[in-house]
Structure 1
Amino acid sequence: MYWQEESNEEQFVVPEDVVDLAFRIDCPTLPVDHAWALSEAIGAELPWFSEEAQTGLHIVHVADTGNGWERPTDADDLLYLSRRTPLVLRLPRHRTQDAHDLCGKTLSIDGHSMKVGNPKQRPLAMTDILYSRYIVCDPNWSEDDFMAWAVEELKGMRLKFKKILCGKGFELKHPDGPIQTRSLMVANLSYEDAVYLQEEGLGPHREMGCGLFIPQKSF
């Protein structure tokens, strides 16, 4: 058998221009749809958060378990967080120290209390397959419309990829009206392109967790 890789990435090192900052939290419960409320609570402590380029919030997720419990999907249902569940912010390196202002604060998210502890810094993932749970889309778009838009946007970023896959839709609450989103997987990226897509994201409302890419299995 003859096998030639398309590129040699053995020496690739993930840059740390943009990183994830994972805070320990004490927060027993959150509503499933907490994106806006959590973003507002963070913005009250970090006024620059929603305006800073390459900044975003990873919506808190709780994985399904193997004993039959499935993550609820209704917006007002509750997520039950373990003590290991973090609050994760994506930040440009020059804002990581500023984000420490959250440490020791207690945030109120739709009446649910979140005490924020110390963070750990994580580099972006070195992977060839990325996933975003929430990409903002036009509510009138079909799946084909969304896919066509996503392909053009990714090509406009000069990214090289071989596969993209559209997933289910999800609606996020917002004071100006609901925000329609779809999930998106992008595969067969070079490590360099994958890091770039994680740094830049896709579409608006990063402060609410939209447009942020993670490894297919993460958080």
Structure 2
Amino acid sequence: MFWEEDEDETIKRPEDIVDLAFSLVATQIPVEHAYLLSQAVERVLPWLTDETGCGLHQIHGAESGNGWQRPDDGGAMYISKRTKLVLRLPNERVEDAGVLTGQKLDLDGYTLEVGKANVRLLNPVSTIYARYIITDGDESEEQFLEFVSEQLQEIGIRCKKMMCGRTHTIRVPGRELQARSLMLADISKEDSLQLQKLGLGRGRNIGCGLFIPHKGIQRI
């Protein structure tokens, strides 16, 4: 019998780039809130957009997996008490970002009160997911995945298992951006952390290009 176990890929979770998760007090926010949230946060943290390593996750408080359904577009969505406002930041900016606590952010008439924050270290899992990767808009799934593969190779990452979702529209003043969700599976822990730190593509200030852990598809 020949039996070879997977190598132990134990790796220290990094502290140079972290997620800072703020509690929230609100019941509803606009479904199309990416730009509104970005502008509201940047009024308090004007350095957020231009600083390397920074990003702002969109708020997803009404997930179908939790018994809620997030509307596709327009109107407002409900958020739960467990919903967080999450910023991806260099560790040295955590203290600076703490001034968000106690702020009341106006999102087109909906008030978002920001509470206390907790630091979350990035998790080196083998399956990661980005809700929004900005595309050219008229790409097929195959063209999009080929583009992603080329972008990954440029930063030294090779991924054999990728899956993308349907196109989603993100509205900003004067234009509409097209984005797709993207899941990468069976990547190394080092590559997982690198992608979570670097992101992929543009629009990190409106929640694009940011990777998070995903449960993935288990092997049978």
1:28-66 per-residue CA deviation (whole Å, 9 max, x = no partner) reads 101111000000000000000111111111110022256
In structure 2, the CA distance between the partners of 1:66 and 1:203, relative to structure 1 (3 Å rule), is closer
User: Is the contact between residue 204 and residue 210 of structure 1 (CA under 8 Å) also seen in structure 2?
Assistant: yes
Residue correspondences, number: 215
State the partner residue of 2:184: 186
Q: Specify the alignment match of 1:156 in structure 2.
A: 154
Q: Deviation at 1:217?
A: 4.8
Q: 1:216 aligns with which of 202, 207, 214?
A: 214
| Runs of 4+ off more than 4 Å | none
Task: State yes or no: 1:206 paired with 2:179.
Answer: no
Q: Kindly indicate whether residue 68 of structure 2 is the aligned counterpart of residue 61 of structure 1.
A: no
5 Å-filtered alignment, 1:60-209, equals 60-62=59-61, 63-64=63-64, 69-74=68-73, 76-209=74-207
Unaligned runs of 5+ in 2: none
Alpha-carbon separation, structure 2, partners of 1:133 and 1:205: 12
The 3-state SS of whatever aligns with 2:99 is: helix
Q: CA RMSD in A?
A: 1.6
Q: Whole-Å Cα distance in 1 between the matches of residues 20 and 107 of structure 2?
A: 20
Cα separation, partners in 2 of 1:107 and 1:16, compared to 1, 3 Å: same
Structure 1: unaligned runs, 5 residues or longer:
none
Whether the 8 Å CA contact 1:160–1:190 is kept in 2: the answer is no
Kindly, what percent of the aligned residue pairs are identical? 42
Contact 2:149 2:159 in 1 (8 A): no
Which residue of structure 2 aligns with residue 52 of structure 1? 51
Could you tell me which amino acid in structure 2 is paired with residue 124 of structure 1?
Answer: L
- Give, in angstroms, the shift of residue 4 of structure 1: 2.7
Contact 2:57-2:86 within 8 A present in 1 as well: yes
Please give the alpha-carbon distance, in whole angstroms, between the structure 2 residues aligned to 1:217 and 1:205: 25
Q: Deviations over 1:127-162 (max 9, x none)?
A: 000110100000122222111110000111111322
Please give the residue correspondences for 1:16-35 in structure 2 after superposition, counting only pairs within 5 Å: 16-35=15-34
In 1, are the aligned partners of 2:28 and 2:78 still within 8 Å (CA)? yes
Displacement of 1:166: 1.3
Cα distance in structure 2, aligned partners of 1:2 and 1:176: 62
Task: Indicate the SS of the match to 2:116.
Answer: strand
